[in-house]
Amino acid sequence: MSVKASKVSTKHGDFENALVLQAENGLYIKEDNKLTLVFYEHVNFVTWDDADAVQKVWTEALAEWLEEVLDEEDWEVEAPKTEEKSSADDPAANPYS
């Protein structure tokens, strides 16, 4: 997701009104003629003041959260186990049980 952030604070300095692209390992921050990759361990915070940017980021965050919740193995439903009925032709079957 790419969106313009009002402020990005990192351990290496702050960026204002920069285009931010969230990647797997960090944030790509694009300024005029400069592109910087800041690893997530070095990001303090990101703020968005524009209403459209806030809505876009919030929608993406909710979608990612919902995807994680629905992908959990705990939600998988197992079919109930049914007992095999013994056949009258089966010599090991007890007809009186």
CATH number at residue 39: 2.30.30
The structural domain count of the chain equals 1
Domain residues for the domain of 13 are 2-72
Domain assignment of residue 27, yes or no:
yes
pLDDT over 90 percentage in the chain: 36
User: Taking 80 as the threshold, does the pLDDT of residue 1 lie above it?
Assistant: no
Residue 57 lies in a domain: yes
Q: Which residue has the higher pLDDT, 9 or 53?
A: 9
Range from 19-28, 35-44, 80-89 carrying the lowest mean pLDDT: 80-89
For residue 85, being part of any structural domain is answered with: no
d(CA 8, CA 79): 49
Please give the residue that has the higher pLDDT: either 78 or 19. 19
The 10 Å Cβ neighbour count of residue 30 is 15
> Residue 24 burial by CB count (10 A; 0-12/13-18/19+): exposed, middle or buried?
exposed
Helical (H) or strand (E) element with 14: strand 13-22
64 in a structural domain: yes
Give the residue-averaged pLDDT of 12-19: 92
Is 90 a member of any domain? no
Does 15 fall in a domain? yes
